[in-house]
Amino acid sequence: SRGPGAPADLAGRHVVISAGGTREPLDPVRFLGNRSSGRQGYALARTAAARGARVTLVAANSELPEPAGVDVLRVGTATQLRDAVRDAATDADAVVMAAAVADFRPAEYASGKIKKREGEEQAPITLRKNPDILAEISENRDNSRQIVVGFAAETDDALVNGRAKLARKGCDLLVVNEVGEHKTFGSDESEAVILDSDGTVTPVPFGPKEALADTLWDLVIRRFS
């Protein structure tokens, strides 16, 4: 991070960041979840606060310590995350979706523990698609000057898939992480490429998630002016 001497170049701005991974309950003892630790989103919150922003961090199931000077809203499911981000976004200058959102949720929540059935090889579970929060936020901006940022983890053809995803989501910037074995999840370091809808490509070399966060804020600020 740029530390205490950071320029206050986000002063007067409100930024909303989602972090962590959503969990979709199946029954009282089980959920569908993912491995996101929340580290990238928390690094974004810390760096934005250090640069003078008012920060709302919508944290899904993260155990990381709450950054000082940041409003933290805790959520569990994708639906809760959508409601919290939507509310916070109404007066936001930038919305950054760093959370790993479950693509599907159980169609129904079972109030009692789901049981196996004799002779049934198929799981007694039906999944439904969750809303695409990033696409919704991008599309429903009241304020056309609001900057919307997504993240994507890709295993193959990161740039090609990233470019297509940026267009599909309608966001301004997309941070594309190439994931593989030890890369990105639960790590303090990552390597990425940031795609701008104007065609600009900004490679971010392997390094701390805070450095990636600061590079992203530089690009967001460039878009403000």
Query: Which are the catalytic amino acids?
Result: 34
C-beta closer to ligand CTP: residue 28 or 139:
139
C-beta closer to Ca ion: residue 66 or 154:
154
Burial class (CB in 10 A: 0-12, 13-18, 19+), 138: buried
Q: Within 13 Å of residue 110, how many CA atoms lie on the same side as its CB?
A: 14
The distance of closest approach from Cβ of residue 103 to Ca ion in the complex, given in angstroms and rounded to an integer, is 4
The distance of closest approach from Cβ of residue 151 to ligand CTP in the complex, given in angstroms and rounded to an integer, is 4
Which residues in the 80-139 window bind Ca ion by CB under 5 A?
103
Using CB under 6 A, which of 9, 27, 132, 191 touches ligand CTP? 132
Closest CA to 23 of 38, 11, 34: 34
Closest CA to 43 of 92, 2, 76: 2
Size of the site for Ca ion (CB under 5 A): 1
Q: Which residue stretches of 9-152 are H helix?
A: 39-50, 78-89, 133-139
Q: Which stretch binds ligand CTP (CB under 6 A): 8-16, 95-103, 115-123, 209-217?
A: 95-103
Using CB under 6 A, which of 134, 147, 193, 216 touches ligand CTP? 134
Asked if 213 is part of the footprint of ligand CTP (rule: CB under 6 A), the reply reads no
Token representation of residue 97? 């979706």
Asked if 152 is part of the footprint of ligand CTP (rule: CB under 6 A), the reply reads yes
Q: What is the DSSP string of 6-18?
A: ---TTTT-EEEEE
Using CB under 6 A, which of 15, 101, 193, 212 touches ligand CTP? 101
Closest CA to 48 of 1, 80, 88: 1
Using CB under 6 A, which of 151, 193, 217, 220 touches ligand CTP? 151
The DSSP code for 118 is T
Which residues in the 52-91 window bind ligand CTP by CB under 6 A?
78
Asked if 133 is part of the footprint of ligand CTP (rule: CB under 6 A), the reply reads yes
96 within 8 A of 18, measured Cβ to Cβ? yes
172 among annotated binding-site residues: no
- Residues of this chain that interact with Ca ion (CB under 5 A) are 103
